[in-house]
Structures are given as C-alpha cells and as structure tokens.
Amino acid sequence: MIRKLLGTVALATIILTGTAQAEDLRLMTGPQGGVWVPLGGQIKDMLEKSAPGTKVQSLPGAGIANIRAIQENKADIGFGNTISTADAVLGTGEAPLDKKHDKVCNVATLYPQYFQVVVTVDSGLASIKDVKGKGFATQVKGNTGELVARHVLKVSGLAYSDLKVGFTNSYSDSVEQVKDGRMQMFTLGTGIPASSVMDLASSRDIKLLDLAGLLADMQKINPAYKLVTIPKGTYPKQEVDVQTIGYFTHVVAACSLSEDIVYKLTSGLLANKANMSALYKDMAALTPQIMAQDIGVPFHPGAAKWFKEQGITVK
C-alpha cells in the first residue's frame, strides 16, 4: 500500500512539473560586457519555465573555456564559437584544443561574431603593426577572442613578446585600461554593438581597424574564418563600413545531458527569439535553417529531434 502511494505521488509530481528530469544545470556564458551574459539570462529563464523544477546556474565563461568545462564535466550547457569548438571536437586545434573533446554536442548556431580591434583616435594607430611596443588589451587564454588576437598578430608579423599586453577577464576591464592610458589597442570577439565598446566611445573618440587585408592569411590558419562587415553608424562617429574577421556563436551541451532538456533548449531558442533579439538584434534573423548549420560538431539527439520536426535532418 505504501509503495503504491509513493508511486502515485511520484506520478503526480511528474504531471505537475511537466518533466521527470528536473535538474540542476550549469550554464557557461561569457565575459562581462559581452552579449553572452544577458542572452544566457534569457536561456536560464526559458529553461526554468519550460522544465519546472530545473534550476540553472549562469556562470561567466569564454568560448574555449566553456568547451573545456563541458568536456571536464564542470558545465552542462554553454556558448561556443564555431571555429574553436570544431577544432576541439576534432582535436585539431592549438593547445588545449589538440585533444579530442568527445563529450561536447552541438545544439544550434545563432549569429555571426565580430572580432573588433578598437583604438582611440588620438593613439595614432592605423594598423595592427602599429601597436608594436605599445599597450595591447585582450582577454585571458580560454577566450576565443584571445586566440583570434594571437592569430591576427601572427599574420601581422607580431607576437605578444613584441607588445605590452594586458590580459583581462572582462571586456570592461580592458576598456578601463584604455581609458587610463595603459593600453592603446583593445580587441574583443563578440556581437555588435558591444556595450564595452560603446562605453569607451562615450568618453573617448574611437576608431575600428579594418582587417580585410588579413583574411587570406587568417584562413591559412583556420579556413572557417570569414569576412564580416560592421556597418557604419554601429558606433558613435563611425562614418564608414569596417570589414573584420568573423565566425559564428552557437550553443553547445554535454552529450550526456537528457534528450528532454536539450529538446526544450533547442525549441526555446526559436520560441524566445523576440525576447533575445531585444537584447541583441542579430537574433531577430534566427531561423531553423541557421540553427541547423553543419559546423563539423555532432548534434545532440535532443536537438536533432527538434530539427527533424522542422523537416531538417542533422547529424
């Protein structure tokens, strides 16, 4: 009788919560000052509502660090960058991505990322080469933006040893280093307009460097690099379009995460497009076809199930 009563209570709990798989999840986002933090807040709210009883802890992170965290069972869901995630899954990247990350599955591609090189107008810097011997602000290792920064320096004939480098855990810290004159060039990989760059532009006249001339050499390092355009007017006093190096943001999950949770995550990304595009306008263009892009990373079965319902077969 007691066993039957307990079974009835358990069944009632499942019916009330809508899922038998309420979980405590760790969601890795990005550095403060980038768009991954507020978008992560939306994903947290969406998952907690669609899977009652599930609690999501949103944590700061970075593209490479998030992939490593999932591989090391320290995170369940995270944002990633297509260029570095594919390298990690295949084990073909630079250390620490030179070993196969086989616990990471793709969920959905979201929008393009822009590698932005920002200088103050009064710095006199007109190219990457001009920063030799001067202050160069980037992020700590584990951030995809830092990896791209190294590649950009390399194809420009420079290395960190040629510069006065400031490694920071947040874009906001980099901006403060530029404001106080310690750094003359600030790089970051994120969406546009970046709140940290807007912050700098509110106190200093800024200029974005055009990197179109570096694309061919960048693609020799990683063929997934592409050219993207930061339209004029994106930032104050930006009077011309600026071409720069681009890649895509996507969402990843531990391959071991329940199919039900990842199904809800995938469907929720599109269902919450309006709320997410209010935080970052490029999300307004999201479609199932964009989400299902093949980036060389296997899809989680929960994501594949949702895409199949949209008439899209993924692998």
In this predicted model, what pLDDT tens digit does every residue of 78-101 receive, in sequence order? Answer: 999 988 898 898 888 777 788 899
Q: Which residue has the higher pLDDT, 220 or 44?
A: 44
The most distant pair of C-alpha atoms in the chain lies apart, rounded to whole Å, by 82
Q: What's residue 74's pLDDT?
A: 97
User: What does the pLDDT read at residue 223?
Assistant: 74
What per-residue confidence (pLDDT) applies to 2? Answer: 41
What was the pLDDT predicted at 10?
Answer: 41
CA dist., res. 101 & res. 282, Å (int)? 29
pLDDT at 14 over 50: no
Q: Which two tokens stand for residue 53?
A: 């009883």
Q: Alpha carbon of 67 to those of 49, 60, 115, 130, 196: distances in Å?
A: 25, 13, 19, 33, 24
- CATH, residue 83: 3.40.190.10
Going by pLDDT thresholds of 50, 70 and 90, the confidence category of residue 256 is very high
Q: How far apart are CA 118 and CA 137, in angstroms?
A: 10
147 and 37 in a common domain: no
Asked if residue 6 has pLDDT above 70, the reply is no
Can you give the pLDDT at residue 94? 78
Same domain, 49 and 73: yes
Residues 123 and 223 grouped into a single domain = yes
Distance separating alpha carbons of residues 221 and 92, to the nearest angstrom: 11
Six-digit token pair at 115?
Answer: 């590698």
Residue 174 and residue 166: Cα distance in Å, rounded? 8
With respect to residue 194, please indicate whether it lies within any of the assigned structural domains. yes
* Amino acid residing at 184: Q
Summarised one tens digit per residue, pLDDT across range 30-74 is 988 788 999 999 999 999 999 999 999 999 999 999 999 999 999
Give the range of the structural domain holding residue 76, as residue numbers without chain letter: 24-111+250-309
196: left (phi over 0), alpha (psi -120 to 50) or beta: alpha
Per-residue pLDDT at 22: 61
Q: Is residue 292 part of a domain?
A: yes
In a domain, 13, yes or no: no
The percent helix, strand, coil of the chain (3-state, each to 5) is 45, 20, 35
The residue length of the chain stands at 315
Check pLDDT > 70 for residue 1.
no
Residue with tokens 């263009």: 285
* Residue 148 forms part of a structural domain: yes
Residue 227, phi then psi, degrees to nearest 5: -100, 130
Inform me whether the pLDDT recorded for 143 exceeds 60: yes
**Residues 106 and 129 placed together within one structural domain of the fold:** no
| Number of domains making up the chain | 2
* C-alpha to C-alpha distances, 115 to 138, 208, 215, 245, 297, nearest whole angstrom: 11, 10, 12, 5, 22
Q: Give the residue-averaged pLDDT of 225-250.
A: 95
**187-207: average pLDDT:** 94
CA 149 to chain centre: 15
